[in-house]
Structures are given as C-alpha cells and as structure tokens.
Amino acid sequence: MRSIILANGEYGDINWYSGLFRDGDYIICADGGANYAFKLGVMPAIIIGDMDSIYPEVKKHFFNKGVEMKQYPRRKDLTDTQIALTLAEEAGSDEILFIGTLGKRLDHTLSNIYCGIEPAQRNIQIIHFSPDCTIYLVSKGLEIRGEKGDIVSVISLTEETSGVCLQGFEYPLDNVVLKNSQPFAVSNILAHDKGEVKVKEGVLAVFLYKQKLDAEPAEGNRHR
C-alpha cells in the first residue's frame, strides 16, 4: 500500500502534483498540508497536527466531508511529519511518498529527510517529491529513470553506506564505501535514460534533479 503525506512546505506549481495520486492511496495531511489537498481536490483519510496552519474554510470543508482529524499539542517531541510517518507505517504502507517536505526552512527539510532513515532500513520505500528534485532513500537498490543529462547525487545518511554501486552514470561506482563526513558522490550525471543504484548496508539519499521541468512527473522508478 502507498501512503502520500502532504506537509506544509514549498510546492511551487500546484498543478505539477495532480498526476501523482492514484486510487487506493492512503492520504495523510500534516497540518497546513490540508490546504494543498484542498487546492488539488484530494480527499485525505486523516489530518493531523496542532491545526494552527489550516485555513478555517479548509478545515470546515474537510470536517463536513467527515475526514478524521487528530489534534496534537503545539509543544510536543515529534514533528507533524514524524507523526504522519508513524501513522503511514501503522497503516501497513510499503511505500511512502512525501510532498511539501522540501524547501522553506533547511532544518525542517533535513528533519523530514532524516526521519525516513529507520523506515528505509525496514525496506519501506521513502520518496520526497518536488517538481525540480526527487529524493529517494535507498537501503537496497533503486532503478532510477529520467533523461540523459539529469543530475544525480548520492549522500550517505547513515555514518557509512557500504557496497555502493552506480551503473548507467557518467561516473560509475563499484562496491565503494560512502561516509556522511565525506560526501564526494555529488553532481553525477545520467548517461542514459535510467541508472541503477545498489547498496549492501546503510542508507543513501539519492537526489534526482530533472533537466526538463516541463515534462510530466516521472513514473516507473523502482526501489528494491
């Protein structure tokens, strides 16, 4: 099952997200992410957070539609995104797609990325999507599809990621160890329309920067 979590970060052109949603998706809005669900005409299964970022008319709309809402205190240990991630796991998701989790504040962006490390280690596919950059958390392997010339960077999120192999790139790697203190594997380039990333141990963040932003969101990236 796939969950989609809408956070309250930067979205850019909202029309870019309409093609992401599929029948059967379990949709969770983290607080102000509900405003974007409203704009997209998407019906969430649940809205969580302290509810201070949701527009009153949006909250009323979803309340009238019978959408479940769970309000949390503003002073809490976990972020709204972390709570949403926990709910997605509890629902049995094997793929979790985040939108609105990149941009605005760097500390929020980093927190949103790092909170996916443990689920990725449990073989849950974690993806952060935005129109200009998609981030995959990889603990085993990823077939990444794009266009020749797309920029791909890989950075270890764990202290070390071993057995890293990159195939289909201008700068291939063969069974190397990447350390988060020495992030040298940035700004690689797809040599064809797809490439393959393999990992033996650890978690990588794989950043895909599309060169053609007028295209539709890419389908068919596979994580295994």
Look-up of token digits 């099952």: 1
Say whether 24 sits in a helix, a strand or coil. coil
Which contiguous run of DSSP H or E holds residue 152? strand 151-156
Q: Are residues 146 and 162 in the same domain?
A: yes
Of 105, 131, 157, which residue constitutes the final position of a domain?
131
212 pLDDT tier (thresholds 50, 70, 90): low
**Same-domain status, 69 and 153:** no
Indicate the residue type of 46.
I
- List the domain range (segments joined by +) for residue 98: 1-131
Give the phi and the psi of residue 218 in degrees, each rounded to 5.
-70, 140
Pair 107, 38 in one domain: yes
> Token pair 């040298």 is at which residue?
184
Kindly report, residue by residue over 2-60, the tens digit of the pLDDT.
Answer: 999 999 989 988 888 988 999 999 999 999 999 999 999 999 999 999 898 999 999 99
Largest Cα–Cα distance of the chain, in whole Å? Answer: 55
Can you give the pTM of this predicted structure? 0.90
**What is the total count of domains within the chain?**
2
